[in-house]
Amino acid sequence: MTEKNQNRSRSIIQTSWLGIAANFVLSAFKLLVGYLANSVSIIADGINNVTDALSSAITIIGTKLSDKKPDRKHPFGYGRVEYLSSLIIGIIILYAGFDTLKNSIQKIIHPETNDYSVLTLVVISVAILVKVAIGIYTKKKGKQLDSEALTASGKDALNDVIASSATLAAAIVYMTTKRSIEAWVGAGISLLILKAGVETILETAGHILGKSTELELATAVRESIASFPEVEGVYDLVIHSYGKRSQLGSAHIEVYDSYKVAWIDNLQRAITKKVREDTGVEMLGLTIYAINTHSEKVIAAREAVRKIVMETEGAKQMHGFYIDMIDRTMNFDIVVEFGAPDEEIREGVKQKVLALYPEYDLQITIDHDFTE
């Protein structure tokens, strides 16, 4: 594992330990005050702090497991364990939300007398300040370290601030008016918890299922490849993520057909090295598209075909155009929108192109844009 990855893991673990310590202290105070005041909302808030601490513990375990070296069974490493950690955290948050909602409904149906005090207000106020600090710090570190689990913990902590503020408001209302709204506040808190759980699960599930590559990373990889003056175009970029430490990519590049194989081999090696240094993405494959340079007729045909493609609904781009004058073949790729009728677009373009160039054997490849 590289020094950069070691530092990342160390920072995630240190941040998580800080979260565990803070949440256990807060939970102990809230549960004590909640039981003394017979307040379901304060107890619910205290239980939520326990789940926050458990989430941080899972983040630590997941980070350590994801640091395992690749082996025969998992040749791309264990980086996706981080996504599983986030998924487990989401499930825990959901469970806490349902449990809190159940207790709140019971309190609404069977109201109980509260016993708030000034100490209650002090404890909740301190908890709010502490959770604001934890939430901002953890979320910032999560974004900085590109950690889904830390970011989720930070968001959850900031949601807790809203929940604790509502609990504080309920206590003040009761102490000043003797009207108890804390069961309803507890129900509201549970909905916030459930919302955080659902968002965490959906975000993590997207990574596990294979979501599209983030535009920022895709742009950085394309710019790194395109920085070579010999590269005339970069297309069909695909990046497979095996956690934050292992991202494998492939792309198609266009170069002039006058270059020799040995020269192209050197170019591919240089591109692979530069992309790794610039973005951390390991390019496993660079497919070469040749651009005709020897015929004005071919160049004119390319522009005519491009015009047909770009006037076709659902088509976004054309590239990889090449004509073999000996075999009488014409090849090009069309990038289409997701959900567009691929075969209809292929056949529509094919018929129009063959009407202009019936002497060629036409090969059209349909591509999709795999970035956001």
Q: Tens digits of per-residue pLDDT, 227-269? A: 999 999 898 898 888 776 678 899 999 998 888 889 999 999 9
Distance CA(261)–CA(131), nearest Å, equals 60
What integer pLDDT is reported at residue 310 of this predicted model? 93
- For the domain spanning 3-209, the CATH number is 1.20.1510.10
Q: What is the pLDDT of residues 188-223, one digit of tens each?
A: 878 877 887 888 888 888 777 777 778 888 889 999
Exposed, middle or buried, 191 (CB in 10 Å: 0-12/13-18/19+)?
middle
List the chain domain ranges. 3-209, 215-368
What integer pLDDT is reported at residue 269 of this predicted model? 93
Token digits for 190?
């549970």
Distance CA(239)–CA(334), nearest Å, equals 20
Name the 3-class secondary structure at 282: strand
Contacts of residue 132, Cβ cutoff 8 Å, sequence gap at least 6:
158, 161
Name residue 331's beta-bridge partners.
322, 363
Using alpha carbons, select from 310, 250, 319 the residue that is nearest to residue 283. 250
pTM, whole model, 2 decimals?
0.64
Q: What is the pLDDT confidence band of residue 358, given thresholds at 50, 70 and 90?
A: very high
Q: What is the pLDDT confidence band of residue 272, given thresholds at 50, 70 and 90?
A: very high
At residue 2, does pLDDT exceed 70?
no
For residues 62 and 227, the answer to whether their CB atoms sit within 8 Å is no
Mean pLDDT of 267-279: 93
At residue 39, does pLDDT exceed 70?
no
When mean pLDDT is compared across 36-40, 167-171, 290-294, 315-319, the lowest value belongs to 36-40
Q: Do domains 3-209 and 215-368 have the same CATH topology?
A: no
Percent with pLDDT over 70 in the chain = 91
CATH superfamily of 215-368: Cation efflux protein, cytoplasmic domain (3.30.70.1350)
For residues 38 and 114, the answer to whether their CB atoms sit within 8 Å is yes
Question: What is the pLDDT of the chain when averaged over all its residues?
Answer: 82
| 70-92 residues labelled b (16+ CB within 10 A) or e (exposed) | eeeeeeebbbbbbbbbbbbbbeb
